[in-house]
Chains A and B, each alone.
Chain A
Amino acid sequence: MIKAPYLSTTTRSTQHRRGTPGEPWVWLTAMGLTIGLLMVAYLVGLILVEGLAAFWPKRIAQIELREDHRAHLAGRFLAGKLVKIQAKALQNQDTAAQAEWQIMVGNKDAYGFGFLYIDEADVVAWQYPRDLMVIERLEYGEAIGIPLALSLHGGTIIPATAAEFTPRFQSLVADVNQRRQVIRRLEKHDIGRINHRMEDLRLQQRLLEQAQPPGSAVPDATLAPIQRAMTTLQAEYEVLAQQARTLRLQQEEHRLLYRLATGEERQLILGQIVQYTLPNQLTTLQRLGLFLHNMWRFWVEEPREANTEGGVFPAIFGTLVMTLLMSVAVTPFGVLAALYLREYAQQGLAVRTVRIAVNNLAGVPSIVFGVFGLGFFVYLVGGTIDQLFFSATLPTPTFGTGGILWAASTLALMTVPVVIVATEEALAAVPRGMREGSLACGASKWQTIQRVVLPAAAPGILTGLILAMARGAGEVAPLMLVGVVKLAPTLPLDNLFPFVHLDRKFMHLGFHIYDLGFQSPDADAARPMVFATTLLLIALIVLLNVTAIFVRDRLRKKYATGAF
């Protein structure tokens, strides 16, 4: 007789421990979760390391190559930062596997390139000379070389070996930077304001001309005050422009003479210098200080060199303003729609259809929303607004072209299904007893909604808003059609009336990443910026989400009810 195994009580228990049924599933699900978490951690870690590395000041090596080196360089010496070590792609099978180094040599104006690959086998020696200087410039990226002398306006030459070289150089560079700020303020704000007023006057003139019956000209008496104002403004403009010209000339007064690793001697106008460092002389603490300073500059400066240099401030600003506008647009719209669907509408076939349609809207690809936004918001609504209110400036469109208002509206439309669904769920989760209690006190339906139901549903509604913001802040494709640009000359908020310019085009971090990664003329130079911008975008979205979650938790504690 064969004993069924499960009936035997002695044989199995002494020999091996019988596992609990279902244990493989526990392991499987745990492994699935772990793999997911590891992937996320790897992504975040990669972006963190690569992004932060863009700001960390690296040492500059001076490398000596063999006589018969194969690098694309005249002479045997070069200086630069080690960027990457990789295995060479073998073209013929006769050489053993080799490594090659990518060096960032800077001096794009001298060499024609900023990055160079050298074979590891060609390297003879390297060192870190103390007086190698890295100069961040307005054009052509960084210059790497050894300073020789300062050539001042008037003919004085101060050699680098002199004691007064360093302090003089430092003060001159500080002056140059300050003057650059003054010139910028002059041109952007002061001259900008004058241009703005002149534009207004020209518009007035155009309106007058349009109002005239065809064939006759505007009488001189009406035009006279406008002409006078224009002349005054023109005179002011000339004064300011002259000031700017003088300052610009001052920027070009002094020069720095320096020598490259290849031996070539070059000159640099001091007005071109943004920042200089002697990286091989820095202590770790100084490096840390410079690292933080570089990060700060990344946040507050404007981009240069086709977005591959400088900072991303306009993109940060544009992203924040657009996300805020989008949230302001989507919340009332979504909440009111959900309120009607859940509370007021007769629950029947029509309401079910609408609900299905709303849910499906969440699955539509975002570029479709972009096309819709272009057709509806930009051309139809914007075109109509232009016809009605801005006819004087036509054919130049004001609202009939992409802008931050239409971008925010398009994204609001895209994320409204999320808000509607979350709000409906939150409203449904409010206990029936609470509504009945309110009605039994003599409240009307709207009073019940306003005083009891909505506050109790607020945490759930905020969840919807968080999801909407996260989705909207990260979308790029629809924005490209409705208002994002590679480089925007102005911010959507400034100090000229009406202060919030909803018709202006703007920059966006997501689009900036795309632009840097795929549209950049110098992919190697843009690479660290791509990671740094990605890190910033992730940090920004995390910050927005954490703020909203914090507010939601506060509300939850206050209202202490419901499943959300």
Chain B
Amino acid sequence: MSFGLLLNAVVCFAIVLATSAFAVSLLHNKNKQKKESTPTINALIVFWSLVGAFFLFAGLRTLAAYGDFNDLEKILYYIGSIPFAFVTVPLVYFIIYIILGDKRVSFGVSTVFLIFGGIYLIALFGFGVIGPSTSEWGSTFEINSDIAINVYLSGLFIVPTSMIMGLLLLILLQRIPKKLQNKIAFSLVAISLIFDFMLLDNIAPSGATQMAARIFIFIGVVLGYFVYFTPLSTERDIMENRLGLAQTELPDFEDEDE
């Protein structure tokens, strides 16, 4: 078997490491955040954990493909489909809570996506998959169900992506400090990048496409991590700057003539 498959598995494990580090860092920094953002932090932790779980099984699956263990690969694909199907749930909760600030509504809307995920899994497990089809760069499966593909594209892909884009547009149209605007925009772009390429990864027609998608996902995770945990962001309290509070306690001007 090829070196490309091993490289693919390495990329998957790199994503697992990066998402785990991200989720753990978010958990540790939760107390430093404002109380209002706690539910969104929790949703993000769940989101990154699910992404990590998906790529853990994707990496193991790729290793199984490298060792030519087709049955094991199929089992790992099915297990990996579980975190994949529910990755939209925390994402939708995250977006709805940010926009409306209502936990119950956010929970209700994300439950709809939980149902979508469940339908996708039932269709996937019910109709099965065709494959694996192993190439030099990756191993892919074809979903043997139109229902699963339709649910997956309409419910799990288009709606959450539109929500991210809507929120991004809303933030970009506001007159808020550039630094904060960039931070929010980049974090949403990172989530969108990961989310979209994760879906592409799952329906990738070839190993090379899958490999390319995984590289973009890795870039997205690293981008997302650095948006939140750069030295600059830990040194400064963004809230102070964006609300102009930093200027309320100006130092006394000494030796002023007036």
Report if A and B associate in a common complex.
no
